[in-house]
């Protein structure tokens, strides 16, 4: 048992160092912006933005609502894999279960879940108050790719579910770091500013909640 545990410990260390953080490139992220602009401009078929002599923007409620409800925004994807194990001690020996889990955590925000008004126009300035960056979807574990690394003894479905939860907790702890959240927030500001400029706004102020 000592040899198995030693091997597992080395592999656990290797799995941690082999963590693959895959950030969405600027090109891929721009696809989201282009799609959002296309959908919003469709809503503008019978709408228009007028600029009066005092440089105040007059924008219809329909247009504002279309922008506010753009939906789900993803600004960073992080691919992770974790080797997680558990040991059950018994009178005649120990049982061990070790499995490899894969997941892709998507950082951003979902406007459908954010109830507060985050977009408004004051004078000639569009003001966007961004909600906090977080996981867009908590179902990030790829169960289809999960595989057993080592298994001895009998384990129930409840035991496997507990191990999967442990893997998800480790992924959240590793990937929802301050640096990753800051990078996703920076990407959000850049991409939304690009979208607002494409919609014709000249003065844009983006703030964080």
For 81, phi then psi, to 5°, come to -135, 140
150 belongs to a structural domain? no
Within 8 A by CB and 6+ apart from 82, the residues are 15, 100, 101, 103, 167, 170, 171, 174
66 belongs to a structural domain? yes
Give the pLDDT of residue 171.
96
101 belongs to a structural domain? no
6 belongs to a structural domain? no
Within 8 A by CB and 6+ apart from 208, the residues are 129, 130, 132, 185
User: pLDDT (tens digit, 9 = 90+) per residue, 84-133?
Assistant: 988 888 777 788 989 999 999 999 988 777 767 788 888 888 888 888 89
178 belongs to a structural domain? yes
7 belongs to a structural domain? no
Closest by CA to 128, choosing from 40, 37, 191, 82, is: 191
Closest by CA to 41, choosing from 195, 204, 203, 205, is: 195
Q: What is the 3-state secondary structure (H, E, C) of 161-209?
A: HHHHHHHHHHHHHHHCCHHHHHHHHHHHHHHHHHHHHHCCCCEEEEEEC
Give the pLDDT of residue 148.
87
99 belongs to a structural domain? no
10 belongs to a structural domain? no
Number of domains in the chain: 1
Residues 105/172, Cβ–Cβ less than 8 Å: yes
**Distance in angstroms (rounded) separating the CA atoms of residues 86 and 98:** 6
Half-sphere exposure of 25 (CA within 13 A, CB side): 2
Residues 49/66, Cβ–Cβ less than 8 Å: no
**Angle between the N-to-C axes of helices 61-68 and 26-43, in degrees from 0 to 180, rounded to the nearest 10:** 150
**Angle between the N-to-C axes of helices 178-198 and 26-43, in degrees from 0 to 180, rounded to the nearest 10:** 40
Measure the N-to-C terminal CA separation of the chain; round to a whole number of Å: 52
The parts of the chain modelled with pLDDT lower than 70 are 1-65, 67-69, 115
Give the pLDDT of residue 31.
47
Q: Which domain holds residue 39?
A: 20-80+107-141+157-208
Give the pLDDT of residue 90.
72
**Distance in angstroms (rounded) separating the CA atoms of residues 160 and 166:** 10
């Amino acid at each position: 048992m000592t040899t198995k545990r030693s091997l597992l410990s080395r592999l656990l260390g290797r799995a941690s160092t082999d963590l693959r953080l895959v950030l969405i490139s600027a090109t891929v992220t721009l696809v989201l912006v282009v799609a959002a602009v296309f959908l919003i401009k469709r809503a503008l078929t019978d709408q228009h933005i007028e600029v009066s002599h005092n440089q105040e923007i007059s924008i219809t409620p329909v247009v504002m609502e279309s922008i506010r409800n753009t939906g789900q925004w993803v600004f960073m994807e992080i691919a992770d894999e974790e080797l997680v194990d558990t040991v059950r001690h018994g009178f005649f020996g120990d049982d061990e279960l070790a499995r490899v889990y894969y997941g892709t955590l998507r950082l951003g925000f979902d406007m459908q879940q954010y109830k507060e008004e985050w977009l408004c126009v004051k004078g000639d300035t569009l003001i966007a108050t961004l909600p906090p960056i977080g996981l867009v979807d908590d179902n990030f574990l790829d169960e289809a790719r999960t595989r057993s690394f080592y298994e001895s003894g009998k384990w129930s479905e409840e035991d496997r579910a507990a191990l999967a939860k442990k893997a998800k907790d480790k992924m959240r702890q590793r990937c929802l770091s301050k640096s990753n959240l800051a990078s996703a927030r920076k990407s959000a500001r850049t991409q939304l500013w690009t979208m607002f400029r494409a919609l014709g706004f000249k003065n844009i102020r983006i703030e964080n909640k």
